[in-house]
Chains A and B, each alone.
Chain A
């Protein structure tokens, strides 16, 4: 019998594998979901650019055969903006942790949405600053024990998808790693979308969020906890605000079309007129 390998491995840098993620980390599942999207849409991975800052999530592009920019924490969208303005035909995808996206990178996030930058941003929400050891972050559920909130977090988290919608993003969806077909679907639709797309993926960090907040470093138990906080959009529409307290709604929140960002000023055309 010949040794069979997962066909998605044609898209990864074999010399970098196995990847650095802890056993059972959701980042690996987001990576494979993204590769299934690339495969399903027959995109040419060699012509795509992925961008990431610093964090566990930010390691995702390091393993794929896209052009990759792995740089400074929180500054993914300024680079993505530059790449997109220089080469508008390039498909650009940002991978960011929740900290990268809406803590240090929060301002870039709202302005990329306002401008409708033609970039897909996949935000891996693992409910903490994972790479630095599991500190409280803007997406940590209120009350959670983390490394820096030993008696529970006293802060409310952001609703990242609501923030994206309010700021003007044109494709916004929330998925979760326990529900792989829905996650694949959200990422694939994000890849097809023209304009600023945000796919928030609720994802397990067993090593830090699991151990501190849930009292177990088991990947399966961390996934069970995520299943417990997820409510589908269809179900959520039938529930009261009290019933939805502490829940995270999964599904698609917006999918619309409007002109994409082409630069901060119009250019002059040959006749001295305005070139849109």
Chain B
């Protein structure tokens, strides 16, 4: 069970942060090659695998498995 974020595709829009009812994500301090502060699954242990974040991300950056 895992939540993976592709740092190269993430734009730090924070829609996953607001969409996740379990408050799994936060925008971290890491900046990707395009200059965006990327999202991190900081509390991945709280994930209930509802899949909402994967469908919400406009950038195909998230995979829940």
Contacts and interface: CB of A to CB of B under 8 A. Distances in A.
The answer to whether A binds B is: yes
Interface of A: 1, 3-9, 12, 17-19, 21-29, 31-32, 36, 180, 184, 219-220, 223
Contacts of B36: 23
Contact of A23 (B4, B6, B11): B11
Contact of A6 (B8, B14, B63): B63
B58 A26 contact: yes
B14 A18 contact: no
A29 B58 contact: yes
A61 to B, nearest CB: 15
Contact of A18 (B2, B34, B54, B63): B34
Those 3 A-B pairs whose CB atoms lie nearest each other, nearest first: A28-B58, A24-B13, A23-B13
A19 B55 contact: no
Contacts of A3: 4, 6
B60 A12 contact: yes
Given A5-B6, A23-B12, A18 B55 contact: no
A18 B15 contact: no
B4 A4 contact: yes
Contacts of B60: 6, 8-9, 12, 17, 28, 32
B23 interface: no
B56 A27 contact: no
Contacts of A9: 60
A270 B28 CA distance: 71
A3 B54 CA distance: 15
